[in-house]
Structure 1
Amino acid sequence: MVKRSRNAPNKNGPTFVEEASLLAQGYSLIAGLDEVGRGPLAGPVVAGVAILPPRPQGKWLRLIRDSKQLSAAQREAALERLREHALALNVGVCTPAEVDRLGIAPATRLAMCRALKSLPLKPQFLLLDAFPLPEVELPQKAIVRGDALCYSIAAASIVAKVARDRMMAQAERDYPGYGFAR
């Protein structure tokens, strides 16, 4: 079962509306899934996955936003809070060679599958940013602009972005002068 939703982003940031609806339907392990690296000319595609507590509370939630709306320092701080509070976090990576061989869309789906496969908890439902993941036989909902609307997807976007930024910073150290860390 794959649903797709088109919503306008909330100006106040993401909410738990989607997660609350799923909790009311009996799902308890809800994973947000997002990717980074589809647009850049170099580097891997990285998918992040996050399973947040069913009813999270606390000031740390203010840090969770679409990763594109946060500075690098804010993303790092948010990731530290996610490590303290999330039930599970993980990343999946597709190398540049795999992207070249498979194409960007299949490579993105492969990175997402890898993130889910090695996740220590098995989610019962997936909330994804924009596109469904037909390779995974789990109930799921793809939400356009989900990283701006949904806490679980926003958390996944932070996990993915920080991981990819760190990889690109290492690539810049290994191959200076190419601007990989930009």
Structure 2
Amino acid sequence: MPDLELELEAMAAGHQLIVGVDEAGRGPLAGPVSAAAVILPEGYSHPLLDDSKKLSEKKRELIYADLMADERIRWGHSYADVKEIDAINILKATHAAMARAVAQLEVESPFCLIDGLAVPNFPYPSQGIVKGDGKSLSIAAASIIAKVKRDHQMVAYGKEFPEYGFEKHKGYGTKAHLAALQAHGPTNIHRKSFAPVAQLSLNL
């Protein structure tokens, strides 16, 4: 289970405000990528909080509700939509969304623990933590917020585009999603720069 050890190490190194940063939705063929940044209060704990990928949807929703209700927690969130993803590529769009999520915190001199590899040219001092959402509570909290907010958005898209089943697969390239793409063609929330969508776009 994640803990606050990495946060305490960063504070011992002289950083005062430690921000966990994570994203959700880099792999799907449709929808935005979602990024969140979280500052947890000193000594924070939660019995269920873990890497969002290890948790059921029900548990994610419960933890998300707890995070939203706790006034001690500071958080920021940002999307990179399909236009941004297609314009600058998914990796750069993800990093841009992360930076915007941190900016929303409106704090001075944050030090960011970012899930994954180090992010080049990130506008804030930062450290990449591989599999950080399973090590750092701050990153785990960011992973929950990023994932649940994106899921909610994809459920809304499911109502807008009922033939695609976005509420079920959340835009990932499942067999059902690929079949719907083949039958109906890409929507305006499909990532035209992603190969399966690009190939169908050429056929339109």
| TM-score, scaled relative to structure 2 | 0.76
Which amino acid counterpart does residue 66 of structure 1 have in structure 2?
Answer: D
Aligned pair 1:73/2:58, yes or no? Answer: yes
Is 1:88–1:121's contact at 8 Å kept on the other side of the alignment? no
Q: Find the residue that maps to 2:127 and give its secondary structure.
A: strand
Structure 2 residue aligned with 1:26: 14
Residue matched to 2:147 = 161
In 2 relative to 1, CA 150–85 (structure 1 residues): closer, same or farther, beyond 3 Å? farther
Asked if 1 retains the 8 angstrom alpha-carbon contact of 2:36 and 2:98, the reply is yes
| Aligned-pair CA distance for 1:42 | 0.7
> Aligned pair in 2 of structure 1 residues 123, 69: CA closer, same or farther (>3 Å)?
farther
Moved over 4 A (4+): none
* Structure 2 residues not aligned, in runs of 5+: 169-204
Q: Check conservation: 1:51, 1:87, Cα contact below 8 A.
A: yes
Q: Specify the code of the residue in structure 1 equivalent to 2:125.
A: P
Aligned to 2:94: 108
After superposing the two structures, state which structure 1 stretch, 13-22 or 80-89, moved more: 80-89
Q: Which residue of 1 aligns with 2:167?
A: 181
Extract unaligned runs of 5+ from structure 1.
Answer: 1-12
How does 1:1-182 map onto structure 2 within 5 Å?
Answer: 13-57=1-45, 61-83=46-68, 84=70, 86-122=72-108, 124-182=110-168
* Structure with max Cα Rg: 2
Q: Which residue identity lines up with residue 107 of structure 1 in the other structure?
A: A
| 1:21 maps to amino acid | E
Deviation at 1:148, TM superposition (A): 1.0
Percent of aligned pairs sharing the same letter: 40
RMSD (CA atoms): 1.6
Paired AA for residue 34 in structure 2:
V
**Contact 2:99-2:123 within 8 A present in 1 as well:** no
Q: CA deviation at 1:25?
A: 2.7
Q: Match of 2:191?
A: none
Query: Using CA pairs below 8 Å that are at least 6 residues apart, which structure has the higher relative contact order?
Result: 1
Q: Secondary structure at the match of 2:75?
A: strand
Higher strand share goes to which structure? 1
